[in-house]
Amino acid sequence: MIQYIADAFTDKLFAGNPAAVLPCREMPASELMHAIAIENNYSETAFVVKRGKGEYDLKWFTPGGEVDLCGHATLATSFVLHQFIDPDVEEMRFHTLSGDLIVRPGADGLTMDFPLGSYKEIPVTEDILEATGGLAKEAYYEDGDMITVIESEEALAALIPDFAAMCRIEGRGLIITAKSKEYDFVSRCFYPKLDVPEDPVTGSAHTYLTPLWAGKLGKTEMVARQVSPRGGTLRVRLEGQRVFITGNAVLFMKGEIPFDL
């Protein structure tokens, strides 16, 4: 069984967000997929099964368990399929817990077609302030991730996360974002509840951030930067109820797992 490791949302090694990708003949049992994700200890391990030309089943596991949507592991999976398995496919359709996701290779990278994340503005509570180091000015949440807006990208880059406080607020994870001088907006994303303290680059977070910043900036096409220590760049576009996220990926390694999946 071949496992690929790819760095997503980057065009150079040792940046962006690494993900493991395992093409399988059939989807393994959930317990086995979770065990492999724990063993890999990446923020995401993706399992993909080919249904037919350009049609795939896709699941994502963190060390903490299965998740409904993951952008960087979808990008890494698309990269692996395009480079090593189905190089002639012009459109990849993935059947996932979040519905069908479409990815199209292009000259500027791989473009993912995702549904909007749902959110609504909520009061900034003491728990939210504690989880953001006292920086939160706005907060948004409905289901999925908690989103908070702070005043400056410098403060965001300097933030020392309090993971215990982050675990006390609502949401699968915590997204902290700010307007940027070089980019349109920047963010950092934390998922301690899923055993992923800080995710280097998070595609799914931009299903919330894209419509939020489109409303604030009056733009539907933007360049975003996740300012984690590894860092990554995403080009995002809002069209109706869909978010299009474009990025690149590079192969770090491929290796053999000594049993069949």
pLDDT in tens, 110-164: 999 999 999 999 999 999 999 999 999 999 999 899 999 999 999 999 999 999 9
Question: Which residue from 13, 5, 6, 42 is spatially nearest to 230, judged by alpha carbons?
Answer: 13
Q: What are the residue ranges of CATH 3.10.310.10 in the chain? A: 2-104+247-256, 121-240
Let me know: does 198 contact 177? Beta carbons within 8 Å. Answer: no
Fold classification of 121-240 (topology level): Diaminopimelate Epimerase; Chain A, domain 1 (3.10.310)
Looking at residue 1, its pLDDT comes to: 87
Residues annotated as catalytic (active site), given as ranges: 44
CATH number (3.40.50.1220, 3.40.50.920, 2.40.40.20, 3.10.310.10) of 2-104+247-256 reads 3.10.310.10
pTM of the model: 0.92
Let me know: does 129 contact 150? Beta carbons within 8 Å. Answer: no
pLDDT in tens, 7-29: 999 999 999 999 999 999 999 99
